Amino acid sequence: MSRVPPEPEVENFLAMLAAQRGAAANTLSAYRRDLAGAVEVIGPLGAAGRDDLAKLSAAWIDLAPSSLARKSSALRQFYGFLIDEGLREDDPSSALPRPRARRSLPRILGHQEIAALFVTAEDDARSGSPEGLRLLAFLELLYGSGLRATELVSLPLAAVPRDAPFLTITGKGSVQRMVPVSARAVHALADWLAARGKGGRFVFPSPRGGHLSRVRLFQLLRDLALRAGVDPEKVSPHVLRHAFATHLLEGGADLRVLQTLLGHADIATTQIYTHVDSARLVALVNQRHPLGPGMVS
């Protein structure tokens, strides 16, 4: 396996990713490999210029678009780090090759489909059965707070405060974030906890000990979709997380706020959701920009 030479700038960059962004070990290893591959083509990265980076186009010509995008992103972040640290004044990353295809867009559920899921889940919860109350709590937290499936099923009881509408979530890279919980979700969660009984340290325990599995969560949501008249192939915990982000952005949420709520280390990951709201953004520019039609007298 190729290794990055003892280049202090690279090591400091990787240390920053670990310390400030909470990058996981696998993420750091991937960045190290990508940077090492670039070193093999153009030599030390700290002193590389635009002409050097342009050579990567030929070296990476056979890469899949996703691989090319990942490698280029690693280098762009590296040179951004050098500029932030005052180690470079210029940014040569504009010479990096660009992927031939855009990143695939997330599957999205429409408002009517979300409403159908809630109608069915609320009907189940009205029966007072623990299963129905648990399912509604799942739906409220996935769509209402944008939790990842793993974050939801492994949620410890200690993460649920008694006097504040927030959850303390431990996400990727063991980074903690505070996630607001809507009044509806607080009510659904309280009903479930009352029906849950005692024992275990997880909000959603498994009958066999530990917590409910991601696979079982997926199955329960697919069954809910089928009963709600929504295509089960369109419904998953991650799709509900996408819907949370998309519908928040449609409602005017700031992209940086959305990044915090989703627990994304890189704003570029959050920007995938901007595709859903291009019409609103154009309208915003027309209304608020000094040269927009609504501002010109």
Identify the pLDDT of residue 131.
93
- Under CATH, to which class is 111-265 assigned? mainly alpha
**49-53, 63-67, 94-98, 283-287: least confident range:** 283-287
The neighbour count for residue 269, using CB atoms within 10 Å, is: 14
Cα separation, 127 vs 11, whole angstroms: 58
pLDDT digits (tens, 9 = 90+) for 8-44: 888 888 888 888 777 778 888 888 999 998 899 998 8
- What's the alpha-carbon Rg for the chain, to the nearest Å? 23
Tokens of 67: 């691989």
pLDDT digits (tens, 9 = 90+) for 237-258: 988 888 887 777 776 766 676 6
Which residues belong to the active site?
148, 172, 238, 241, 264, 273
Identify the pLDDT of residue 186.
87
Nearest to 142 by CA among 210, 209, 220: 220
pLDDT digits (tens, 9 = 90+) for 83-127: 888 888 888 988 888 776 554 555 678 889 999 999 999 999 998
Nearest to 96 by CA among 151, 147, 144, 34: 34
- Domain 8-95 grouped into CATH 1.20.210.10: no
- Mutual angle of helices 214-228 and 130-145, in 10-degree steps: 100
Give the list of residues 6+ apart from residue 242 with CB closer than 8 angstroms, or none: 106, 107, 108, 109, 273
Domains 8-95 and 111-265 share a fold: no
Helices (H) and strands (E) in the chain, counts: 14, 2
**What does pTM read for this prediction?**
0.56
Q: Name the residue with tokens 């031939």.
A: 100
What are the domain boundaries of the chain?
8-95, 111-265
